[in-house]
Structure 1
Amino acid sequence: MVEATDIIKRVRQIEIKTRGLSSNIFAGEYHSAFKGRGMTFSEVREYQYGDDIRNIDWNVTARFNHPYVKVFEEERELTVMLMIDVSGSREFGTTWRFKKNVITEMAAVLAFSAIQNNDKIGVVFFSDRIEKFIPPKKGRKHILHIIRELISFTPEHRETNISEALRYLTNAIKKRCTAFVISDFIDEGFEDALKIANQKHDVVALRVFDPREAEMPNIGFIKLRDAETGENYWANTANKKTREAYKKWWHENQENLRTAFSKSGVDNVAVPTNEDYVRALISLFKKRA
């Protein structure tokens, strides 16, 4: 069990790092990439050459006997949902950090970026079922609560069901939101749920993976354990056919994911654990903007 003092220390460390990133790097990019729900009336001003005549306020124009136009501003406030995969596979890592560490930091950056733009932020932790729901709110206190949960939350189950999480999002969140699904996406059969969720909400997929998952090393017989089912089995990694079969499976899996995201119209980015996630997020934001 993680001690309370250790949690507080880690929360503070993550806050300092991710708050700085969201302030200095992501503020403008986030604002441009994730639009508000529409336009709202702000004020009227005198007509200027080039203004859209459809925006003329005829009542004010008649009163002053001079053309005036309505000025609209983007209705900025959004609801942002973080869909956090807490299944067993997030605990894998062969570099200097586990997948769950990258997931935690990215979620914290997005949370701070959201509140700096006056957006509400909520969280859904999911495995093969919904583990915990934190309703959308604003404020630093709320963000720190989210970070504490990201660090210390222990799921009751270890398997993955992305379809279940997406169906929950579709049914539980009534108003349109921006939903970041942060997962390694080691699952299948969630394409229909993804498409339906993205029709109601703006779904963005952040896929975290360890570079070792892409290729099996040649190190002889090794004992492997499935982090989600607990099943143990032996593999002969010295066998070339075994390594090639695994590599083929990985590439087919990645291609299936790309196809699923494309058909569903979901923006996505792959984030390896051995690289800086900042670059990946900025690339995604610029693409959307």
Structure 2
Amino acid sequence: MMETSEILKKVRKIEIKARGLSANIFAGQYHSAFKGRGMAFSEVREYQYGDDVRDIDWNVTARFNKPYVKVFEEERELTVMLLIDVSGSLDFGTQKQLKRDVVTEIAATLAFSAIQNNDKIGVIFFSDKIEKYIPPKKGRKHILYIIREMLDFHAESRRTDLAQAVEFLTSVSKRKCTAFILSDFYARQDFLQQLTIANRKHDVVAIQVYDRRACELPDVGLMKVVDAETGYEQYVDTSSRKLRDTYHRYWLNRQAELKETFAKCNVDSVSIATDDDYVKSMLGLFKQRG
């Protein structure tokens, strides 16, 4: 467990980076990609040529004996939920960072983008159970608390159950929200049904963070591999071309299945490697939705 001073130092470092990204890069893109709940009545004004007659306020029109129309504006305020995977498989990284570090940075940037748009932000930490729920609130103090939790949170379980996490989102969020699932999506259970139901009620976005070694094994001879979630260990001979090809095909098939699941649920998604420029990837996602 990190010392308090070390945590605060890391929180400050992430805050500076995330605030800079959200203010200078993400702000406009985030606003256009994630719309408010709908249109809210703002005021009335006199009817002008070209106005939709369906917007005429007949009560005001009768009172002043000339036509008035209702003016609506977008309800901008959103509730944003971050579903953050805290299972054991996130503690892995062979490139620049661990998957957990990248998830934390992306989540922090999304959080600061949210409060710059006056949105509430909440968090669900999940493994194969709901580890912690932080209800949505506004403000910098709330976001710094979230970042601190992300940096120093220790899950009780190392396994993953995405279905349960998504089901919890549906039950706990009564009003429509925008929900980002940040995970490597190493789920042993099918979550198609739960994700479909959640995306009918909410606007769900999937952000997959993975490491390059998940795609291809290096040719380094005999190597011990450990399943981070079950603790199962075995030795594999990575000098075998057949083994490396089989491993790579497994990754491709798994990604294809994941992509198909998101398509069936109508969920927008992006896959980001630990050594990728996640800013570029996220902006691509925002542009796709804009």
- TM-score scaled to structure 1, two decimals? 0.97
Percent of residue pairs bearing the same amino acid type = 61
Instruction: Deviation per CA, 1:102-146: give whole Å up to 9, x if none.
Output: 100000011111111111110000011111110111111100000
Tell me what 2:277 maps to: 276
The aligned amino acid for 1:220 is G
Tell me what 1:237 maps to: 238
- TM-score scaled to structure 2, two decimals? 0.97
2:222 pairs with 1:221: yes
Give the Cα separation in 2 of the matches to 1:69 and 1:28: 30
2:194 pairs with 1:193: yes
Q: CA deviation at 1:61?
A: 2.7
Tell me what 1:51 maps to: 51
Q: Provide the secondary structure at the position in 1 that maps to 2:257.
A: helix
Tell me what 1:60 maps to: 60
Give the Cα separation in 2 of the matches to 1:194 and 1:59: 44
Tell me what 1:17 maps to: 17
Give the Cα separation in 2 of the matches to 1:23 and 1:156: 35
5+ residue gaps, structure 2, are: none
Q: CA deviation at 1:48?
A: 2.2
Instruction: Deviation per CA, 1:223-282: give whole Å up to 9, x if none.
Output: 111111111110011111111110110000000000000000101011111111111111
Tell me what 2:128 maps to: 128
The aligned amino acid for 1:39 is M
The aligned amino acid for 2:225 is L
2:40 pairs with 1:40: yes
Q: CA deviation at 1:51?
A: 1.5
Tell me what 1:159 maps to: 159
Give 1:251-270 correspondences, 5 Å limit.
251-270=252-271
Deviates more, 1:13-22 or 1:57-66: 57-66
Instruction: Deviation per CA, 1:31-68: give whole Å up to 9, x if none.
Output: 11111111111111222222111112223333333332
Give the Cα separation in 2 of the matches to 1:157 and 1:62: 65
Give the Cα separation in 2 of the matches to 1:179 and 1:14: 21
Tell me what 1:78 maps to: 78
Give the Cα separation in 1 of the matches to 2:238 and 2:154: 33
Give the Cα separation in 2 of the matches to 1:129 and 1:210: 24
Tell me what 1:89 maps to: 89
Q: Provide the secondary structure at the position in 1 that maps to 2:197.
A: helix
Tell me what 1:6 maps to: 6
Give 1:202-221 correspondences, 5 Å limit.
202-221=203-222
5+ residue gaps, structure 1, are: none
Give the Cα separation in 2 of the matches to 1:186 and 1:234: 21
Q: Provide the secondary structure at the position in 2 that maps to 1:263.
A: helix
Tell me what 1:101 maps to: 101
Tell me what 1:176 maps to: 176
Deviates more, 1:59-68 or 1:116-125: 59-68
The aligned amino acid for 1:280 is S
Deviates more, 1:53-62 or 1:213-222: 53-62
Give the Cα separation in 1 of the matches to 2:6 and 2:237: 40
The aligned amino acid for 1:3 is E
Q: CA deviation at 1:180?
A: 0.4
Give the Cα separation in 2 of the matches to 1:145 and 1:183: 21
Q: Provide the secondary structure at the position in 2 that maps to 1:111.
A: helix
Give the Cα separation in 2 of the matches to 1:76 and 1:201: 16
Q: Cα RMSD over matched residues? A: 1.0
Give the Cα separation in 1 of the matches to 2:283 and 2:63: 49
The aligned amino acid for 1:196 is I
The aligned amino acid for 2:206 is A
The aligned amino acid for 1:185 is F
The aligned amino acid for 1:256 is E
The aligned amino acid for 2:85 is D
Give the Cα separation in 1 of the matches to 2:281 and 2:46: 44
Give the Cα separation in 2 of the matches to 1:284 and 1:37: 20
Q: CA deviation at 1:163?
A: 0.7
The aligned amino acid for 2:153 is F
Give the Cα separation in 2 of the matches to 1:51 and 1:73: 15
Aligned positions, number? 289
Q: CA deviation at 1:193?
A: 1.3
The aligned amino acid for 1:203 is V
